[in-house]
Amino acid sequence: MSAGRKYDSGNAYWNEVADKVGGYYLIPKLAEYKNQEYIDLIEKWGVGTNKTILITDLYEAVFGNTGIYDYLNGISTDILGMDISAKFCFRAMDNFKQQNVEIGIISGDATMAPLASESVEVIISPSTFDHFPQIDLALKECCRILRPGGKLVLALNSSNNPFFKPGVRLAERVKKHEYQTDHFYSVKQATTLLKQAGFAIGRSTAIMHVPIGLTTLIEFFDGINNPITDRINGMMIGACRKWGRLNTRLKLFTGWWIVVEGVKR
Ligand SMILES: C[S@@+](CC[C@H](N)C(=O)[O-])C[C@H]1O[C@@H](n2cnc3c(N)ncnc32)[C@H](O)[C@@H]1O
């Protein structure tokens, strides 16, 4: 956190963001790649079927990007989606209705979740707790609401990838700065935070392996909207996906998000 900067983590801040954000920050091809990264990971880590699953923010669904929620809906009928912004909740709800995704919506703050203790079996947190400083409180809440043996799949902005934070800062300058993205974590830091919140530590990895310059090239090619550049884009995204599927810890240095599994004792 840099000195002198104002941080806000409340409903009012995120409702304001809801009023001003024009569209999703990724073009559809990259949004789809991102969804697939989460889905592949959830399949690989095997969260199980018919569990009560909580997803800690609804940002993707707000922009009609319901792929991950749709996938979860296919493995369980008991899916809950929480977001601190009531405006985001209403928009996500409309999109879920249109796309026949059945999901219970909770307008609530993850640092004081309106859910009973030991009421969910899996929590998927897709880079939510890196948008406010009180990550320790949010993790304690996750530990409280999970049943014993339950799992938290915690994705956070990566500081293991040395290019990610500078890339975000550059994008904020030259493209747009829609909301605060102020916290970046290494697997080591996330592991410490999870332990402090009472979790046992499971697996860890990183997802979304598009180099920053390549993201801009993919966006540029996408704008040309031509079969050849589309094909090149497909190949470039395919190569990123292949790299992400390799079983190597080097992936930690290329992913946008680190993901660490916390297990409720
Ligand atoms: C900007 S988005 C980023 C997350 C998104 N899943 C992604 O990968 O880009 C952050 C989301 O978290 C929500 N959020 C922020 N603070 C929250 C909190 N304390 N509890 C629940 N949701 C929160 C915001 O309303 C917003 O929808």
Q: What is the average pLDDT score of the chain?
A: 94
Per-residue pLDDT tens over the stretch 236-248: 999 999 999 999 9
E strand segments, the chain: 53-55, 79-83, 104-107, 120-126, 146-157, 199-207, 257-264
Per-residue pLDDT tens over the stretch 109-132: 999 999 999 999 999 999 999 999
pLDDT of residue 48: 87
> Is 262 near ligand 1, meaning CB less than 6 Å away?
no
The rounded Å distance from CA 235 to ligand 1 centre is 31
Segment 85-91 mean pLDDT:
97
Long-range (24+ apart) CB contacts under 8 A made by 46-49 are 47/75, 47/122, 47/124, 47/151, 47/153, 48/75, 48/121, 48/122, 49/75, 49/76
Per-residue pLDDT tens over the stretch 173-232: 988 888 989 899 999 999 999 999 999 999 999 999 999 889 999 999 999 989 999 999
Atom number in ligand 1 closest to CA 134: 19
Helix H, strand E, coil C: the string for 50-100 is: CCCEEECCCHHHHCCCCHHHHHHHHHCCCEEEEECCHHHHHHHHHHHHHCC
The model's pTM: 0.95
> Is 81 near ligand 1, meaning CB less than 6 Å away?
no
The rounded Å distance from CA 76 to ligand 1 centre is 23
Per-residue pLDDT tens over the stretch 32-46: 999 999 999 999 999
Q: Which amino acid is at 245?
A: R
> Is 59 near ligand 1, meaning CB less than 6 Å away?
yes
Domains, the chain: 11-214+246-264 (3.40.50.150)
Atom number in ligand 1 closest to CA 58: 27
